[in-house]
Amino acid sequence: MTMPVTQCLIKLHEAHHQLEDYQGGVPRWCSGCGDNAILAAVQRLCRDENLAPERTVFVSGIGCSSRFPHYMKTYGFHGIHGRAFPIAEGVKMARPDLAVFVNTGDGDCCSIGAAHWIHAIRYNMNLTAILHDNQVYGLTKKQASPTSPIGLKSNTTPRGSYLDALNPLTVTLGVTNASFVAQAVDWIPELLYDIIRAAYLHRGFSFVRIIQRCPEWLPKTFEPWLHDPGKTLLLTHRNGLSISPELSRTYRNQIEHDPINLDRAREIASTTDPIPVGILYHNPSIPCYEDIRHAGQMRTAEQIRAGIESEFDKVTVWPQDDSPSRAVA
């Protein structure tokens, strides 16, 4: 696509941003919380891709992870529970030129916001969605979430959770128009960054599930995986991730997986031990909804006002004896 001359000139004079340009308030997450690792990876991505802070937006719902926009020195919207996706989609429809990220938790996305999550996948808008999955409602002090393992004792399940955990990967891969699905873990920062970067570079709805630790409510849940690298399965491919020699010396359990293979991606997504880490599915040929709808066309103030007035007129009751008048007491 040819870039207009004015945009070329603007890009030539764009400042190179530093890490500090994206660092907002001091995070108030617990020490050892996986959210800290995700924040560091995302801020590094913004710096490396030189994303203009004024053209970058982070949208979240409610939960520990949803404080994310407060810690980014960009535009942000801290929404209500489960509604991060429709807000982000509205931003993208109005301003498709912006880089839009969604930060959501396992409860915010997979329970309260499940309907919006499903349709966000189907619409395939150019958003980067990061699911912070710690398998528990942490902000409200330990209740079972949709991804909590069976048997988990919590304030809402004192005798242990009765249901098998929902698998966000298999759900996403089962929805029409899924175009990018990946999984990362917070304790391998090198791959965490690589996967988030690949998600950002994909044009379409990028869904990254990040399995993260909650040191406050589930401090020992992932200890077996931390102490045994063999319990992590790295997915490699020339169209996916390249694993560094240094990392390969520790994480030797690797398979080559072509991310265009949807059936194989679904099989891998069903695996929980070992935990698969990498890009499960990537299909760049699926069109984005905003491209189909030709979103983002500039409107004048007069056009916006006329549109609003037209909508108001549909529900306004006018006096019977004269023409529409806005002077009615």
How do residues 234-243 score in pLDDT, each as one tens digit?
A: 999 999 999 9
Span 81-93, average pLDDT: 94
How far apart are the C-alpha atoms of 298 and 306, rounded to whole Å? 15
Domains in the chain, number: 1
How far apart are the C-alpha atoms of 88 and 100, rounded to whole Å? 7
How far apart are the C-alpha atoms of 85 and 116, rounded to whole Å? 6
Could you tell me if residue 145 is inside a domain? yes
Higher pLDDT, 45 or 139: 45
Question: At how many degrees (to 10) do helices 189-201 and 34-48 cross?
Answer: 50
CATH number at 284 reads: 3.40.50.970
Q: What is the pLDDT of residue 3?
A: 61
Could you tell me if residue 322 is inside a domain? no
Cα distance from N-terminal residue to C-terminal residue, the chain:
54
Could you tell me if residue 317 is inside a domain? no
Could you tell me if residue 329 is inside a domain? no
Higher pLDDT, 59 or 317: 59
The share of the chain scoring above pLDDT 70, in percent, equals 92
Could you tell me if residue 312 is inside a domain? no
pLDDT at 324 over 60: no
List all residues 6 or more positions away from 205 whose beta carbon is below 8 Å from its beta carbon: 120, 121, 123, 124, 125, 126, 127, 129, 177, 178, 179, 180
Q: pLDDT-derived band of residue 318, with 50, 70 and 90 as boundaries?
A: confident
Could you tell me if residue 45 is inside a domain? yes
Average pLDDT, the chain: 91
The domain of 119 spans 17-297
Q: What is the pLDDT of residue 329?
A: 47
Q: What is the pLDDT of residue 9?
A: 52
Q: What is the pLDDT of residue 323?
A: 55
How far apart are the C-alpha atoms of 210 and 231, rounded to whole Å? 16
Burial class (CB in 10 A: 0-12, 13-18, 19+), 31: exposed
Higher pLDDT, 2 or 79: 79
Could you tell me if residue 223 is inside a domain? yes
Segment 186-226, tens digit of pLDDT: 999 999 999 999 999 999 999 999 999 999 999 999 999 99
